Amino acid sequence: MIQEFDELIKSAVCEVFQTMLNMNMETKPFDTAIAANGESHVAGAVGFIGRLTGVVYIHASEPFARRITTTLLGLSPEEVQGQEMVNDAMGEMANMIVGHMKSRLADRGMPCVLTIPSVVRGTNFSIEAVSSTKGSLHMFSCREQYLFVEFLMKPTKAEA
């Protein structure tokens, strides 16, 4: 099941970034040193609830999150004032990625509903799930900028 999700995550991230930002995201082996380099990060999260329940976080460094925002909105860096626009853009990117995954899951007979996006910011935070939760970590890059995707899922009744 997790492997299936991994493929879904990869295709969703690549498609959303290509369509909305014209960015070719390449999958990379997850590297903790790059992910936890002390830089300020912005994480957009969207949960899904149904036959499958879980959450997907997309993280990017503050500069990359700003670049995503400026590209998405067609603005110059000076026009992106404060954090609100970046938060909204990262939330919407997460929403599109998880929406893409949700549609594929629904087609496979696993309907679910999505939560409203939320955003977390910080320089040194980690996401810790309860021990029974399954998950995976993914890293993508585009021109030396990195995107991290963390996927967490509650085991299904059958798995539990």
Partner 1 sequence: MGPKILTVDDSKTIRMIVARAFRPFACEILEAADGVEGLAVVKREKPDIIILDFTMPIMDGVEMLTKLKSDAEARTIPVVMLTAESGRENVLRIAKLGVRDYLIKPFKEDLIVERVGRIIDLKARTEVQAKAKRYDDPLHVLVVDDKPAILDQITSGFTDTKWTVHGLAQAGQAVDYCSQRLPDVILVSLSLPENSGYMLFQMFRASVKTKGLPILAMAVKTATEEHARAQQFGFTGIITKPIDVEDLKHKITRALNLDTSYRYFERRDGLLVMSLPANFSPAVANDVSTHLRAKVCEAVDSGINRLVINMGQLRSADVNLIKLGLGAIQLCQELDMKFILIGSDVVCSECKNYEETKDWQFVATFEEAIGVLNAKTPTLV
- Positions that interact with partner 1 (CB under 8 A): 15-16, 19-20, 69, 72-74, 84-85, 88-89, 91-92, 95-96, 98-100, 102-107, 111, 114, 116-117
CA distances from 53 to 64, 86, 89, 103, 132 (A): 29, 27, 24, 14, 13
What one-letter code names the amino acid at 152? L
Question: Coil, strand, or helix at residue 72?
Answer: helix
User: CA separation (Å) from 20 to 68, 70, 74, 154?
Assistant: 9, 12, 11, 30
- Compare residues 31 and 88 and give the one whose CB is closer to partner 1: 88
Nearer to partner 1, 61 or 69 (CB): 69
* CB of residue 112 to partner 1, shortest distance in Å: 10
Nearer to partner 1, 35 or 75 (CB): 75
- Residue 43 or 89: which CB sits closer to partner 1? 89
The answer to whether the CB of 41 falls within 8 A of the CB of 121 is yes
Question: Whose Cβ is closer to partner 1: residue 79's or residue 125's?
Answer: 79
Residue 34 Cβ vs partner 1, minimum distance, rounded to whole Å: 26
Cβ pair 148, 60 in contact under 8 A:
yes
Closest distance between partner 1 and the C-beta of residue 38, in Å? 28
For the record, the structure tokens of 145 come out as: 């900028």
Instruction: State the nearest-atom distance from the C-beta of 91 to partner 1, in Å.
Output: 7
Q: Chain centroid to CA 20: how far?
A: 15
CB of 106 to partner 1, least distance (A): 3
